[in-house]
Amino acid sequence: MLPIAVIAGAIVYGVLYYNFLGNGTLTVSAYTDSKYLQQHPLAAWVLVGSTNESTPYTVSLAPGTYTAVFHPLAGFQTPAQREVAVIQGQNTYVTGLYRPYVEVIEYTRNGFSGNNTKIIHSVTPVIWLNTTDVYITLQVQSLGTFGVFPHSNATYVFPASGSFNFATTWGNATGIIHVS
Where the chain has pLDDT below 70, the residues are 1-21, 171
Same domain, 107 and 175: yes
Domain count, the chain: 2
Cα gap 153→151, rounded to integer Å: 7
Looking at the DSSP bridge assignments, the partners of residue 125 are 157
Same domain, 136 and 119: yes
10: left (phi over 0), alpha (psi -120 to 50) or beta: alpha
Domain boundary among 69, 100, 131: 100
Q: Would you say the pTM of this structure is higher than 0.85?
A: no
pLDDT attached to residue 11: 63
Sign (positive or negative) of CA dihedral 116, 121, 124, 128? positive
Is-contact 59 51, C-beta < 8 A?
yes
Domain boundary among 74, 100, 126: 100
Mean pLDDT, the chain, rounded, equals: 88
- Domain residue limits at 107: 103-179
Cα gap 127→140, rounded to integer Å: 12
Starting at the edge strand found earlier in the chain, the sheet holding 64-70 runs: 51-54, 45-48, 64-70, 82-86
Residue 89 lies in a domain: yes
Alpha-carbon distances, residue 6 vs 1, 2, 3, 12, 169 (angstroms): 9, 6, 5, 10, 86
pLDDT attached to residue 6: 57
pLDDT attached to residue 125: 92
Same domain, 79 and 144: no
CATH code of the domain containing 48:
2.60.40.1120
Residue 50 lies in a domain: yes
Same domain, 71 and 121: no
Residue 128 lies in a domain: yes
Same domain, 94 and 132: no
